[in-house]
Structure 1
Amino acid sequence: MDWLVTLLIFFGALIGLMATGINVFIAFLVVNLSATMVMMGPRGYGMFVNSVGDSMTTMGFVTIPLFILMGEILFRSGSVDVLFNSVNRLVGKIKGRLYVVVLLLATIFGALSGAAVAVSAMLGRSVLPNMESRGYSPKMSASVILAGASLAPIIPPSLLAIIIGSLANVSIAGLLIAGIVPGIIISCLTGAYIFLSIKRNASIAPSDEQDEEDKEGGTTAGALLKMIPFMFVVFMVMGMIMLGIATPTESAATGVLGAILVAIFYNRASVEMFSQSLTSSVKLSAMIMIIIASSSLFSQLVSFTGASQGLVNWATGLGLDPIVMFIIMMIIPVILCMFIDQIAFILMAVPLYQPLVAAQGFDPIWFWTILLINLTVGGITPPFGYTLFALSAAAPGLTVSQVFRASFPVLLIFLLSVVLMTAFPNVVTWLPGIM
């Protein structure tokens, strides 16, 4: 089983380098350059250059920097502040209102940034102390933040969905649309958990009267009007795809245009803001593109050694039922994503998972959508989930043990959702199928 030795060397080197704390793209470059030299010699670097060139000029990857720029503009222009106040008003006079507001905001922030860790840290630092001062339960607040932020890879526009679609040759539009219904289901389950918890223990939320006093001023009609520009951005992205008017790349461009118009409409646009957004977008996009280019070569090297085919032959030779193989393939990201970055796992897993998905006859949209959900499950699984440590570090009033306890109901919600989508695949594939 030479292919197994090759895989162990490749992945052992990658994980070992990442464990030193160096950037993911540097780890990939070191492994790729070293493996190319060992297996092919200096002539192999010609393949390296061609692989990087092909990856960097793929039209599908244009979507990545555009979506990043859209999120940066919406963040830095302060447009989301307007959305917060509007959602706060629209939720109405209900007990535990701010739990719902934070769930919605965490979902929106997660969709815009694509990073559960970033959203957890941001809300833990800014929102959680404020909620605690108003009488809200820190544990429940932490649970809500973790649940909303962990929808980042699922709710469109999801950068991780775009990366998987590009690497696995799966419809990016299909993956983006497939995340809508699962995202809604998980959000609804979290909302149901919030209200059932409040019903069982009313002390975790302030009284209706106190909650109403905390509400921002303004009317419901005014809140709806203020949200229209933001909804315009959503339409410019997902609406254009769902109506068949634009491809994901084109809709990403219209999304950037929509974000600029929204910033102008809210009177938050400035040269400095646009400059900062562009600078940040270029830096992040360049890093992601280098990682993707390195991953493409990594995939070629794995195939060149025969490891990909060897793994497929071994897996199919076990004679396992497809559902058993599916469960095994889904447990792996839960475990590994406790320790490594989600993008890093995707770049390592896609070259190996893709032939297995085809060999087992799994629907690719269904399979990769559930994988996206499991990526975040690893990040919120004690005792090593890095999203948990990000939240505890950002929220000085919370201990690590409190954050761990807050993660348990979120884990159950996500795992229940995965079971539901596994038992009923149409939950995932229905919406992409009618587009």
Structure 2
Amino acid sequence: MEWYALISAALFMLLALFATGLPIFLSFLTLNILGIYFLRGSFDGVMMVVSSMYNTGTSLSLAAIPLFIFLGEILFRSSAVNILFNGVDALVGNIRARLYAVSIMLSAVFGALSGSAMAVAAMMGASLLPEMRKRGYDRDLSMGTILAGSSLAPIIPPSVMAVVLGILSGVSISGLLIAGVLPGLLLAFAFFLYVVIRGWLNPSLAPVSQQTTLPWRERAVLLLRAVPFLLIIVTILGLILAGVATPTESAAMGCIVASIICAIFAKLDFKALIEAVRSTAMITGMIMVIMVSSVAFSQLLNMSGVTFELVDWVTGLDIPLVLMFIALMALPFVLCMFIDQIALMILLVPLYQPIVSALGFDPMWFWAIFLINMSVGGITPPFGYTLFALQGVANDVPIQAVYRSVLPFIVIFGLVVVVLALFPQIILFLPSFL
């Protein structure tokens, strides 16, 4: 069977298994076992799958995943949310579209602290969105800022998705984490600029009369209360950039610092800590079982010879590298609307990895943009997971309105990706210090 027929059959079978409601890890495991039987005519190669699952599950690099998840859980289960909200609110001050700017900045901060776009969208939708609507802010633009800000979570470190992508692609996890800092800040600034311009052009979107002005001394106090929480980000990024700790060690230190700061400045008690541990175990278990059950997929591709034939076919195409890059980015952008982000990475990275090498793309640059592409896929209609996380807490809002609210920010994402593609040093500058 030709390579394209094998890939098409594998993708069709995987999507069909997803459509049945079968858990992602069982879908990949079923595909691997059936693929081995098809290629070898027996189930003799199943032990190869078991060996791959064991080797992946015992990789020390995966230890960063539960630590980053635990870090986010600590912050969400203490009163850090309110403290950071008041601090960011005080920092923004009394500008038009103030709460839009607060929404973007706060989502970016919580994204950097937790690494979970869905968690940030749900938290902001439950806490900030009702206040924005109460003060007369436009509903759709309010939801759009929350979704856009939360989508920065997988990009700005610490990021669980960056850890998974680094393991799958073979790129330095530290480098991939650090590479997201400047693109994340650039996206946040672009979102901020957009809402300020919208508010200036259409004052009815953010009525000034309902904004609150605090004396500068009170604003300074609120801002100073939030400063200790920024030490968490500084600890993680500082240890990685200094080269004195791995991402796993940095994540562990981040958890320690977060626990101490939340215990002193917030309301982290023993009950909240136990709940954080329990939630971390459940989320980590889900991610780990997907990882160990799907990593053998790349071995299956190599066994079938599909990977080598695909690389030969791609490198033999007489088309410009620019068009090839666009095509490689367009596929995950579309598929991420329908498939879980981690599952899609596990599906595509083994196929992309040899192609990226053969075409001569800088791996750090390519995979960093790939990660951004995956992030925007999470907020892209019709099936972006983050959209449903927000709609779940704003259940009086129709899903069509949620779809409509995020469209301008998807366009901004696209424009920023073009800038990052044209100016690779925006991505590569910080990793060059490692």
TM tier relative to shorter chain? over 0.9
Give the corresponding residue for 2:19: 19
Q: 1:410/1:96 Cα in 2 relative to 1: closer, same or farther (>3 Å)?
A: same
Give the corresponding residue for 1:305: 304
Give the corresponding residue for 2:190: 189
Give the corresponding residue for 1:100: 101
Distance 1:393 1:261 in 2: 32
Give the corresponding residue for 1:121: 122
Give the corresponding residue for 1:253: 252
Give the corresponding residue for 1:132: 133
Distance 1:146 1:216 in 2: 31
**What pairs with 1:68-87 in structure 2 (closer than 5 Å)?**
68-87=69-88
Give the corresponding residue for 1:235: 234
**Taking structure 1 as the reference length, what is the TM-score of the superposition?**
0.94
Distance 1:414 1:286 in 2: 31
Give the corresponding residue for 2:340: 341
How far the C-alpha of 1:36 sits from its partner, in A, is: 2.9
| Amino acid of the structure 2 residue aligned with 1:111 | A
| Amino acid of the structure 2 residue aligned with 1:39 | L
Distance 2:255 2:20 in 1: 37
Q: SS in structure 2 opposite 1:43?
A: coil
**Taking structure 2 as the reference length, what is the TM-score of the superposition?**
0.95
Contact 1:89 1:218 in 2 (8 A): no
Give the corresponding residue for 1:291: 290
Distance 1:274 1:218 in 2: 34
Distance 1:415 1:422 in 2: 11
Q: 1:200/1:76 Cα in 2 relative to 1: closer, same or farther (>3 Å)?
A: same
Moved more, 388-397 or 216-225: 216-225
Distance 1:97 1:201 in 2: 14
| Amino acid of the structure 1 residue aligned with 2:355 | L
Distance 2:138 2:409 in 1: 15
Q: SS in structure 1 opposite 2:126?
A: helix
Distance 2:251 2:341 in 1: 22
How far the C-alpha of 1:79 sits from its partner, in A, is: 1.8
Q: SS in structure 2 opposite 1:380?
A: coil
Distance 2:386 2:69 in 1: 21
Encode CA deviations 1:309-332: one digit per residue, 9 max, x unaligned. 111111111122211111000000
Contact 1:96 1:211 in 2 (8 A): no
Distance 1:346 1:28 in 2: 13
| Amino acid of the structure 1 residue aligned with 2:231 | F
Give the corresponding residue for 1:199: 200
Q: Structure 2: which 5+ runs fail to align? A: none
Moved more, 90-99 or 350-359: 90-99
Identity %: 44
Contact 1:64 1:162 in 2 (8 A): yes
| Amino acid of the structure 1 residue aligned with 2:254 | G
Q: SS in structure 2 opposite 1:69?
A: helix
Q: SS in structure 2 opposite 1:381?
A: coil
Give the corresponding residue for 2:173: 172
The reply to whether residue 382 of structure 1 matches residue 349 of structure 2 is no
| Amino acid of the structure 2 residue aligned with 1:153 | P
Distance 2:17 2:231 in 1: 44
Contact 2:26 2:293 in 1 (8 A): no
Q: SS in structure 2 opposite 1:93?
A: coil
Encode CA deviations 1:367-418: one digit per residue, 9 max, x unaligned. 0111111113223333444433443343244333332332221011100001
Distance 1:120 1:337 in 2: 18
Contact 2:94 2:211 in 1 (8 A): yes
**What pairs with 1:264-283 in structure 2 (closer than 5 Å)?**
264-283=263-282
Contact 2:169 2:353 in 1 (8 A): yes
How far the C-alpha of 1:171 sits from its partner, in A, is: 0.6
Distance 2:100 2:268 in 1: 30
Distance 1:216 1:133 in 2: 23
Moved more, 382-391 or 318-327: 382-391
Q: 1:331/1:22 Cα in 2 relative to 1: closer, same or farther (>3 Å)?
A: same
Off by >4 Å, runs of 4+ in structure 1? 215-218
Give the corresponding residue for 1:7: 7
Contact 1:85 1:216 in 2 (8 A): no
Number of aligned pairs?
433
Q: SS in structure 2 opposite 1:42?
A: coil
Give the corresponding residue for 1:322: 321
How far the C-alpha of 1:115 sits from its partner, in A, is: 3.5
Moved more, 12-21 or 167-176: 12-21
How far the C-alpha of 1:279 sits from its partner, in A, is: 1.3
Q: 1:216/1:22 Cα in 2 relative to 1: closer, same or farther (>3 Å)?
A: farther
Q: 1:324/1:263 Cα in 2 relative to 1: closer, same or farther (>3 Å)?
A: same
Give the corresponding residue for 2:210: 210
The reply to whether residue 42 of structure 1 matches residue 34 of structure 2 is no
Distance 1:62 1:182 in 2: 26
RMSD between aligned residues: 1.9
Contact 1:99 1:144 in 2 (8 A): yes
Give the corresponding residue for 1:403: 402
| Amino acid of the structure 2 residue aligned with 1:264 | A
How far the C-alpha of 1:23 sits from its partner, in A, is: 2.2
Contact 1:89 1:216 in 2 (8 A): no
How far the C-alpha of 1:217 sits from its partner, in A, is: 10
